[in-house]
Amino acid sequence: MSDERRVRILNATRELLLHYGYDKTTVSDIAQAAGVSKGAIYLHYPSKDALVEALLWHDADRAQQEIARRLQADPNGGSFTSLYVHGLRVAMEMPLLRAIYGNRQRVFGDVFKRLAPNFSNQAIRAAVIEFIRKYQALGLIRADIDAKVVAYMLAYMRYGLLTIEDVIPSDEAPPLDAVLDLLVDVLDRGFAAAGGDTAAGRSAYIAYAENAINTVRSQWESTKVEEEEDHE
């Protein structure tokens, strides 16, 4: 019940998943690393899968909050570019979220297939497109380009950056700051419209962010498969 206990369990889980991967991480390992008994884990979470799922939501929420915090602190926080790049930086800094793209199989095994085999990101992508349209209406993104194509380009740039280390070892890559600085530069030149209402952009983001996480969550819930307990 203690919250600190729960966080310790989640942290241990994250660490072991990243290091050993789902298949080679046993619940006993997690218990030991967290300094609790195995039974204690089942006091908090009904199954190993549920534990991993809870960890993912936990990190997603943290990321969400962290992005919002940085945008508030950023004087330029309402611009489209800073929004995109703050999100990207946070994603780059949270290895577990990165692993959803880059090392899903190794880190998560078949949890995704097992929990929500029919999950589709279509609804989320649609929400992004709507958001881009709103930003275009606010004069924060050039209005002469198709929002769908913009969304697609943002998606593959993000995906490329999150997974490029499969091809370029991270120790041979330029520093993340330099990479993101150039990205900001190019995005500003390529997408941003002159002028535009950044204050409105900031509040549009807040609405979007809540909506987005709800979209993900409801999409997840609706495609989620109930844990079967088939004893016969």
Q: Does 105 sit near DNA (CB under 7 A)?
A: no
Q: Does 23 sit near DNA (CB under 7 A)?
A: yes
Bridge partners (DSSP) listed for residue 80:
none
Q: Does 33 sit near DNA (CB under 7 A)?
A: no
Q: How far is the CB of 148 from a copy of itself (least distance, A)?
A: 5
Nearest CB to a copy of itself, comparing residues 27 and 145: 145
Question: Residue 230 has which token pair?
Answer: 């088939």
Q: How far is the CB of 2 from DNA (least distance, A)?
A: 6
> Binding partner of residue 210 among DNA, a copy of itself, none, CB under 5 to 8 Å per kind?
none
Contact 102, 166 (CB under 8 A): yes
> Binding partner of residue 157 among DNA, a copy of itself, none, CB under 5 to 8 Å per kind?
a copy of itself
Question: Residue 119 has which token pair?
Answer: 């999950």
Question: Among 8, 11, 27, 216, which residue sits at the site for DNA (rule: CB under 7 A)?
Answer: 27
Question: Residue 185 has which token pair?
Answer: 């530069």
Binding piece for DNA, criterion CB under 7 A, among 1-9, 124-132, 186-194, 197-205? 1-9
Question: Among 19, 37, 159, 173, which residue sits at the site for DNA (rule: CB under 7 A)?
Answer: 37
Question: Among 11, 15, 21, 49, which residue sits at the site for DNA (rule: CB under 7 A)?
Answer: 49
Contact 141, 135 (CB under 8 A): yes
Q: Does 174 sit near DNA (CB under 7 A)?
A: no
Nearest CB to DNA, comparing residues 9 and 91: 9
Under the rule (CB under 8 A), what is the footprint of a copy of itself? Answer: 101, 121-122, 125, 145-146, 148-150, 152-153, 155-161, 163-164, 167-168, 172-174, 178-179, 181-183, 185-187, 189-191
Q: How far is the CB of 112 from a copy of itself (least distance, A)?
A: 13
Q: How far is the CB of 36 from DNA (least distance, A)?
A: 4
